[in-house]
Amino acid sequence: MNDAAYGCMVDVDLLAVARAAVRVNMPYSAMQYLEMWLENHHGGKITSLSSLDNDNIVSTLRDILVEAYSFDSDGDGIYGVNDGRTVKSQLVKYNREDQYANALPLYDISLQFSNQHVLDRDGTASSNTTQLVGGMLASLQSLGYNHLLDGYLQSLDHKRQPTNRSSGLAASQALEHKYKLAWKRMQWEAVLPTILMPQDIWSKLKAGSKTSATDVFSHQQMLFQGLRAIAHGDFRSLQRVTSKAKEQIIQSVQLSLHSFESTKDSYSALVYLQGIHEIEELADFMRKSSPVVDSPILSTVTPTGLKTYSSSLDGALVTSRQKSLTTMPLLERWQRRHGQIKDDFDKAESLLGLEEVLLQVSKATDEAQVLTKLYLDLASLSRKAGRIAVAYRALMKLEQLDERGSLNIYDTMQWQIQKAKLLWKQQEARSAIWTGKKLCSELTAYLDGSSMTGSEATSLQLLHVKALTITGKWIASLRSESSQVILEDFFQKATNIINGIATEAVSERARDTSKAHFALAEFMAAMYQQVSTRVASREWLAGKKVVNARFEELQELTTLKEHMQNENRAHIHALNKEVKHDVNERSKVEASVDQFLIGALCSYGKGLSLSSQAELDMVFRVLSLWFTNQRKADINRVVIEEVIDMVSSYKFVPLSYQIISRISSSSDTGTFQIALHKLVMKMSVQHPHHTLIQLIALKNSGDVEGKGALQFRTNVGDAKAEGAKVYLAELMKTEQRELLESLDSMANAYVQLALFDTSEYHGQKKKIPLSKVTIFETNSGRSGTAPFDQYLRARTRRGGSTVMPAVLTSHISPEADMDYSNVVRTYSFEPHFSITDSGIHRPKIIYCHGSDGESYKQLVKGHDDTRQDLVIEQVFDTMNQFLMEEKATRKRKLRLRTYRVVPLSPIAGVLEWVENTTPWGSYLVSRTSKKLSAHERYHPHEWKHTECRQYLKNAPEKLPAFLEIQANFTPVFHHFFLERFPDAAVWYHRRLAYVQSTAVTSIVGYILGIGDRHSQNILIHEGTGELVHIDFGVVFDQGMALYTPETVPFRLTRDMVDGMGVSGVDGVFSRCCEVTLQLLRKKSASVVTILEVFVHDPLYRWTLSPLKALRIQEGEEEQDRTKPSVRSRSSSRSNSSKRATGTGNTNETQPADEMHAEPGSADAAARALIRVKQKLEGYEDPNGSALSIEGQVKHLLSVAQDPHNLCKLFPGWAPWL
């Protein structure tokens, strides 16, 4: 064993320890010991299973890992060890993915070949057969095949009775399914002789004595007894049953409470307890509604069965409750809890099934009503989960209620909508559309012929809107009707109905009504894109030339002499008709471009005004359409009237930076600037903490000097700075005057602190007093100087704490009610600050104290442009919203770690310091002699990092040199998790978080073309194990334009993979890559729309000059040196600044004449978007076809790890790490 890694030398078979750990339900320890064994047998590195050549060893390792991963119900790790070549491994895969329909035939054929009589030769069931039987039972139940399950259980009863332990387990599994079927069917007596409770448990339950931990726990049995008791009103016996059930549930998971490793059943236990609680809640409802005394039913029970009940007493109970009990409040209470398990259908369905029986046995007066609501929810939930049989059962229950006349017209129509949706889910498109159309016709006829008014009529109208919207979407997706029919008969008809409903009623159902407007908007926007593309096409322009030529021919013919016109009369007449027809048709098409555009903007505005949600993706669409057509006066007028005036301003706040960047000078009086002015002023007054600082930063672009300011003026000119000053002057006349003054003063102080020269303090360890920084007052007509800390205190005295600005790096969510009374204000600053370790313009590290008593660590950067970091962080925030909306990514808790970036000018900004992080490269290789790096500690005799860099740099042949470096440089990053997280369970989950974050950042970074991912631009969070990416100076595939072009899509070097454990890139990493890419493809329209807004931002040019490209890679090489060069891009960056997430561009090191943006930036933006679209569509090879999601991920992983590509990278990128 590597004693440097594990602290001791122990002569023990670690593989045997791993096997033992699995047997005692310690799966994470098993994985840990298995990886230790691999490391000891493969030269100190963890070798992936796919690279091992000993089939016997691989098989043994796979068996251990498959068993260990079976405890982790939510993980993807099993895909990295499950090769899928055997029936058993395929069954594991199908069960993990809830593909029970695929598993069922495999269970059937396996049972046939394993043992056709479910018994071994000695008459007992084998353990393998027991597992197959259990899997068959579980699959039938999960699919909702209750009739088949019942038949299979009966067939098992006819077999010879099992006698060994495995057979006993099979019998107990079958018994659980029998009990569940029995209580679901409310068959309280018919099946009792075959499913009696074991005598010892039964006796203890009847006597009220305690059960022991060795007693067999049977949850379905307990539910059966509890439901049977409540069905007959025996509340005293019910109390004993529920008490014993809770006791046994707790005992069954007691071991789990002592270790994070044995938590497999804890979640199920919580669901079991919730079910018991719901039984108790209904019993409480029934007690309060009925004065009837309990019947001691359970006292008559014997182990031979249940015989008699008092029918007269039962009748009295039922009659009493029918008169007084209503359970709708109870059902609503239960449904509010369902959100906690909405992503786990099996758990949710078991609770819904229990609630169904509870509502039936309650005999409440509103039984039909509550059951209808429950069945509708069950149908929707099971459809979304793909459990078709369960959904059909719920729909058939609704049909039975309808046939009995228990459904009102609203519930009947809801049931039909669910039926249509289920057909669409089954890809029965024609049947779904036919059902939808029929439903729409029936609703139209009913509403036209009904005298119904009030809330009932409104509910039906809104249901009609829903049916029209859904059916219209289906037809549009298939293009089975003309666009005019879809528009008029479905989408416009739906919105017309909404316009006729009372405003109050529409507001109460805002989500449904806004969806209809968004559907119309999306359709009209799609038509606008389609028609505008057609009008701009070469074919259309060629057709215009033809029409013009024919018109000129007609003009010439009409100028001929009369006798010649008479001779050509037929031709002239026909030509005249054709020209008129062509001109009219073309005019209609060209006019429809703006008609569709205006219609889309109006509908987006209406939907946004109705919706209570932020609807960020819809806001992106509105801004994209508006900015693209900003020169059209009609469009700007529509935006003012239908969007700016109608929509709550908080919905635009997340994009305030992109909106404010469009500000121009006061001399520009065009309609776009008028509309923009109205929106910016509205946001600034209502959400000052989000927007004022951006106006101040734009104003500051005209005040500062330097290379960054020169590039800013080259890109933008001074018009925007002048325009921002006009806005700020107007805001000084509003209620935000005092806050604006304070914020402007604080921004001025931050900028001067950022530009403060610290060269005399270089090399000193002590902190610098803030009083050394003298602030020159230049704002609000005042003048003078004051130390930094006194300057801000003076502002507080003048205005009071209520007008002090918010802490710049605090996270403030836009509030719909515009109430920011609880925002964290800037209270004070630590009297001293520090600087980073290297560079000329060293970033300052300060602590800002907030009004909440917390201390906020900040990085203040000067001579650096932080705006591009801000834009990428905005994209990440939007991507995080997408990741939270999708079930597959939400279940895996995929996210991008972000941080706050606040630009204050083109050459100054403030960044949030991400606490508890360290640069990934700093752990692996030391840049100083103060502390040994991981490579030096674990492999002290191998090549040094600097040797590797120099060797690759000087090698004439890169590939052989790179391979030799790999042979002399062993990956060590897996030790990071062992060192930080010694507990096996914590070790596993932190490494899982690392792998998941690596996957999501890799795919999102690839789509955005984020480059320059050298080892100091990636941070590792020491508390969670997640990666945090920083420094986004190279995006949208600019890495290909670097002096040494980047040849990999993202960083996936050996040390990155080493941290992933024995599975490597297989399993968790590849699966998370796939689900992330699948989400981005699904959201491709939104992603492209979002990037359109960002890429066309006039405040930044997405191009690299040749010298800037060279400087970037010079900076990477300098990062590896102890003494940075004056010319280095890293002159303002350091190991410490990386930890603060503070990185930016290279403006401070470039001469003024080199800072000019390259021409053709509009073309560069268009190229960037085209490449993003190609990536989302799966085009990797320009001459190849689009790849599937799995194929594209596999291709990217191969390219990222290919030594032929890695050896070509710039040595400062350190591809050997």
Q: What is the pLDDT of residues 1138-1191, one digit of tens each?
A: 444 443 333 333 333 333 334 455 677 778 888 899 999 998 877 778 899 999
Q: Check if the beta carbon of residue 749 is closer than 8 Å to that of residue 902.
A: no
Q: What is the pLDDT of residues 9-36, one digit of tens each?
A: 567 888 899 999 988 888 899 999 998 8
Q: What is the pLDDT of residue 23?
A: 87
Assign 378 to helix, strand or coil. Answer: helix
Of 353, 227, 366, residue with least CA distance to 289: 366
Residue 64 lies in a domain: yes
- The pLDDT confidence band at residue 981, using thresholds 50, 70 and 90, is very high
Say what the pTM is.
Answer: 0.85
> Distance of alpha carbon 239 from its chain centroid, rounded?
44
Residue 790 lies in a domain: no
pLDDT > 90? residue 510: no
Conformational region of residue 1014, where left means phi above 0, alpha means psi within -120 to 50, and beta covers everything else: beta
- The pLDDT confidence band at residue 546, using thresholds 50, 70 and 90, is confident
Q: What is the pLDDT of residues 128-182, one digit of tens each?
A: 788 888 889 988 988 888 889 888 888 887 765 544 555 566 677 888 888 888 8
**806 CB neighbour count, 10 Å cutoff:** 21
Residue 170 lies in a domain: no
Q: What is the mean pLDDT of residues 748-758?
A: 88
Q: How far apart are CA 1030 and CA 1217, in angstroms?
A: 18
Conformational region of residue 259, where left means phi above 0, alpha means psi within -120 to 50, and beta covers everything else: beta
The percentage of the chain sitting over the pLDDT mark of 70, rounded to a whole number, equals: 80
Q: What is the mean pLDDT of residues 1063-1077?
A: 93
Of 354, 331, 220, residue with least CA distance to 285: 331
Of 336, 391, 331, residue with least CA distance to 366: 331
Report how many helices (DSSP H) and strands (DSSP E) the chain contains, helices first.
Answer: 53, 12
Q: How far apart are CA 925 and CA 945, in angstroms?
A: 7
- The pLDDT confidence band at residue 69, using thresholds 50, 70 and 90, is confident
Residue 1049 lies in a domain: yes
Residue 740 lies in a domain: no
Angle at 714 between CA 759 and CA 752, to 5 degrees: 30
Q: What is the pLDDT of residue 838?
A: 64
**Domain end marker among 70, 105, 127:** 70
Pairing between β-strand 1027-1029 and β-strand 855-862 as defined by DSSP bridges: unpaired
Q: Which helix (H) or strand (E) holds 827?
A: strand 826-829
Residue 1125 lies in a domain: no
Q: Which of 145-159, 594-608, 989-1003, 1060-1074 has the lowest mean pLDDT?
A: 145-159
Residue 448 lies in a domain: no
Overall size of the chain counted in residues: 1217
Amino acid at 452: M
- The pLDDT confidence band at residue 526, using thresholds 50, 70 and 90, is very high
> Distance of alpha carbon 936 from its chain centroid, rounded?
39
Q: Check if the beta carbon of residue 638 is closer than 8 Å to that of residue 598.
A: yes
**Domain end marker among 49, 70, 91:** 70
Query: Residue 813 has which token pair?
Result: 């969510």
What letter does residue 407 receive in the DSSP assignment?
Answer: S
pLDDT > 50? residue 211: no
Q: Which domain holds residue 1108?
A: 887-1112+1163-1213
Share the mean pLDDT of the chain.
81
Residue 748 lies in a domain: no
Q: How far apart are CA 754 and CA 740, in angstroms?
A: 21
pLDDT > 80? residue 43: no
Q: Check if the beta carbon of residue 877 is closer than 8 Å to that of residue 836.
A: no
Q: What is the pLDDT of residues 405-416, one digit of tens each?
A: 888 899 999 999
Query: Residue 1065 has which token pair?
Result: 């890139």
Burial class (CB in 10 A: 0-12, 13-18, 19+), 558: exposed
Amino acid at 892: R
**Domain end marker among 70, 95, 125:** 70
Q: What is the pLDDT of residues 280-306, one digit of tens each?
A: 888 888 877 765 544 444 433 333 333
Q: What is the mean pLDDT of residues 945-974?
A: 92
Split into its structural domains, the chain has a count of: 3
